[in-house]
Copies of this chain bind each other. A is one copy, B any other.
Amino acid sequence: MNKLLFTVITLSSILSFSQTDEEVFRTIYTQSLTNGKSYEWLNHLSNQIGSRLSGSLGAEKAVAYTKEELDKLGLDKVWLQPVMVPKWVRGAKEFAFIESEPGKTTNVNICALGGSVATPALGIKANVVEVKNFEELEKLGKENIEGKIVFYNRPMQPDLIHTFEAYGGCVNQRYQGAVEATKYGAVGVIVRSMNLRLDDLPHTGAMTYEDLPVEKRIPSAAISTNDAELLSTMLTLNNNIQFYFKQSCKQLADVQSYNVIGQITGSEFPNEFMLVGGHLDSWDLGDGSHDDGAGVVQSMDVLRLLKESGIKPKRSIRVVLFMNEENGLRGGRKYAEVAKQKDENHVFALESDSGGFTPRGFSFDCNDASFNQVLSWQPLFKPYLIHYFEKGGSGADIGPLKSETTVLAGLRPDSQRYFDHHHASNDIFDAINKRELELGAATMTALVYLFDKYGVNPISSSETIKN
């Protein structure tokens, strides 16, 4: 190395060491907004690969692609972590109609719920019982339900500001609906899509049969919100109408898949791990750009942005692209299991799995000391319009890493449009705004930078905070 170059490098190291947090933040955001890779990666993931349901060819391609892209980043380590995942396939497009009188039918938009069994090859036709919740179902009892299709029609509550709360208040209809309806002899389940808008798109999502024997499992589908309104109105006029639907989905044997992992090894505390991640799998109707292509590419870019911003982490920073969040959480469980086996100390984990919209902040699942530490950083985030710092959930995939001292966090983007797209055929790249995506990646990077610099959970941390 010549002398001049050496001097330049040394000087730039010193300069970068002496940067204030404000300056580092500015560098990170500028890097992401002018030189980010997240949008380009997502374009490939969404438009070249497409949907990535566990066990599908798309999921396999996504593993290979993201591994390859991480390899290019010059990280210290990139590897695949094997995990067996369920494989469910939708089969031919579903078909459904309402028959108000023999021969008089109106087609409606449905899709099978993930994990559902098929209807018989000729479909199912039966009367419909509409309920808003499981209590109504119980009150109606077997005499009113047996042989019929149960139609769950409790809408997401529009006056809740946090749309995830509205989702949480409804999703048991989708997840548990079949098990509950089976108790009273129902032959099928139709669930109003988890969507705050009135439109024609059915939204899929996971459902369970718990330990029901195979022969007792009834086919379950989601219906678009417009068609749920239509069906409900038609039932009011004539509760003797029939509903027909046909679906040919199938649960196959588990297949081999992978979590994709990349690592920058820490310079001072290599055995303290800080994780950023999203899930690589998606539902099959759209291309999974918001759920969770966005989280995947943002997480990948966190490691790249740290490097591009000249930050050399003291702790080991890992990006983990989890497989099978949507219908099994096998990737998240496997990762935590291996981490436990290896006695890896995960001090921090951040998941982005709430869409690629403008970031508003984070929610934290951590002890008070760590949370107070976060609150002291709020002024740094203010110029970037990041203001939301609350205790709450983090992310499904990182949940299994929970301990008393680990800081778990979830990126919280603006959620108002999220359920317009969630699990539906319009969760596509066109619904992503480049800047919003990049602001999310920068915001995640900024939080990782702070926790790496100041240490996690001052009570038990290996160093003291400098304020």
Q: Interface on A for B, CB 8 Å cutoff?
A: 29-30, 33-34, 158-159, 161, 163, 196-197, 358, 360, 383-385, 387-388, 414, 416-417, 420, 433-436, 439
User: A341 → chain B, closest Cβ, in Å?
Assistant: 41
Residues on B with C-beta less than 8 A from A420 are 433
Residue of A383, A387, A435 with most chain B CB atoms under a 10 A cut-off: A435
Assembly CA distance A420 to B385 (angstroms): 19
Contacts of A358 in B (CB 8 A): 358, 414, 416
Cβ of A167 to closest chain B Cβ, rounded Å: 13
* Chain B residues whose C-beta falls within 8 Å of the C-beta of A30 in the assembled complex: 159
Interchain nearest-CB distance for A120 vs B (Å): 39
- B contact residues around A417 at 8 Å (CB): 433, 435-436
Q: List 26 A-B residue pairs with CB atoms under 8 Å apart, sorted by A's residue number.
A: A29-B159, A29-B161, A33-B158, A33-B159, A34-B158, A34-B159, A158-B435, A161-B385, A161-B439, A196-B435, A197-B434, A358-B358, A358-B414, A358-B416, A360-B385, A385-B388, A387-B387, A387-B388, A414-B414, A416-B433, A416-B435, A416-B436, A417-B433, A417-B435, A417-B436, A420-B433
Question: Min CB distance, A142 to chain B, in Å?
Answer: 35
Bound-state CA distance A197–B420 (Å) is: 23
CA distance A34 to B33 in the complex (A): 37
> Using Cβ atoms and an 8 Å threshold, which residues of chain B touch A439?
161, 416
Residue ID in chain B nearest A414 by CB atoms: B358
Complex CA gap A348/B202 in Å reads 46
Among residues of B, the one whose C-beta sits closest to the C-beta of A417 is B433
Whole-angstrom distance between the Cβ of A463 and the nearest chain B Cβ:
32
Complex Cα distance, B141 from A180, in Å, reads: 80
Task: Give Cα A435 to B160, complex, Å.
Answer: 10
CA A29 to CA B387, docked complex, whole Å: 21
Residue of B nearest to A163 (CB): B435
What is the CA–CA distance of A30 and B416 in the complex, to the nearest angstrom?
15
The answer to whether B161 touches A384, judged by C-beta atoms less than 8 angstroms apart, is yes
Max chain B C-beta neighbours (<10 A), residue from A33, A388, A416: A416
Q: How far is the CA of A112 from the CA of B197 in the complex (A)?
A: 37
Assembly CA distance A34 to B157 (angstroms): 9
Alpha-carbon separation in the docked complex, A360 to B382 (Å): 12
Select from chain B the residue with minimum beta-carbon distance to A385.
B161
Nearest residue in B to A31 (C-beta to C-beta)? B159
Give, as a whole number of angstroms, the nearest-CB distance from A360 to chain B: 7
Known contacts A387-B387, A417-B436; 6 additional CB pairs below 8 A are A29-B161, A30-B159, A161-B385, A163-B435, A197-B434, A417-B435
CB-CB under 8 A from A196, the residues of chain B are 435
Least CB distance from A102 to B in Å reads 38
User: Hey, which chain B residues are within 8 Å of A33, CB to CB?
Assistant: 158-159
In Å, the complex CA distance between A417 and B414 comes to 13
A259 to B: closest C-beta gap in Å: 31
A383 (CB) vs chain B CBs: closest residue: B161
Closest Cβ of chain B to A98, distance in Å, is 26
Greatest chain B CB density within 10 A among A197, A358, A385, A417 is at: A385
How far is A416 from B385 in the complex, measured between Cα atoms in Å?
11
A435 CB contacts on chain B under 8 angstroms? 158, 163, 196, 416-417
A327 and B159 alpha carbons, distance in the complex (Å)? 38
Complexed CA–CA distance, A34 and B436 (Å): 28
> Chain B residue with minimal CB distance to A412?
B385
Question: Which residues from B are CB-within-8-Å of A161?
Answer: 29, 383-385, 439
